Amino acid sequence: MLSNSFISGVYQVAIVVYDVETTMKSYTNQFGIGPWRVALLEPPRLTDMRVRGEPVEFSFKYAVAWTGDTMWEIIEPVDGPSIYKEFLDDHGEGVHHILVQHEGLDFDAALKEFGKRDCPPAMEGRIGDIRFAYLESEGPLKTTLEIVDRPPGSAPVTPDYWYPAENTEGS
């Protein structure tokens, strides 16, 4: 690792799409990725939402699945202003962000360090105890980075359903 690095790993690759269901089924049927935990995130489940520092309300449907140590996330914006909608308007569907780990720095220190490097938060929020922030990194890095604060013992997001439903053993 270089002396100026504080990114310690890649945890997730996320795709923004118009239709989570269709995309999730393609990943499952063509590549065997799944099972998927699927949920609609909206208030009151989703709180403290901001886009570029301004309080907003937005909602999105998402699905997550694992291959090895990597999480796949598919996001469909549903309502309200979000960087997901901006991405679809500007680029169409595709890889939207990469969730990175920041070992040695807590969430607030990592946000501050990214800000010093001209990558302030573009969108933030909270799902229960879990905080997330997407960084304004698309210009210099050609993609958006996300960081997450998941306190020890915090519960994962309870899925609304699994796809395919019959393949949830051990997940």
Domain 9-153 class in CATH: alpha beta
- Say how far apart CA 41 and CA 160 lie, in whole Å: 10
Query: What's the predicted TM-score (pTM) here?
Result: 0.92
Q: What per-residue confidence (pLDDT) applies to 170?
A: 47
**Digit-coded pLDDT (tens) for 13-62:** 999 999 999 999 999 999 999 999 999 999 999 999 999 999 999 999 99
What are the beta bridge partners of residue 126? 47, 131
Per-position b or e across 50-84, b if 16+ CB within 10 A of its CB: ebeeeeeebbbbbbbbeeeeeebbbbbbbebbbbb
Q: What per-residue confidence (pLDDT) applies to 5?
A: 84
Q: What per-residue confidence (pLDDT) applies to 166?
A: 61
Low-confidence ranges of the chain (pLDDT < 70): 1, 166-171
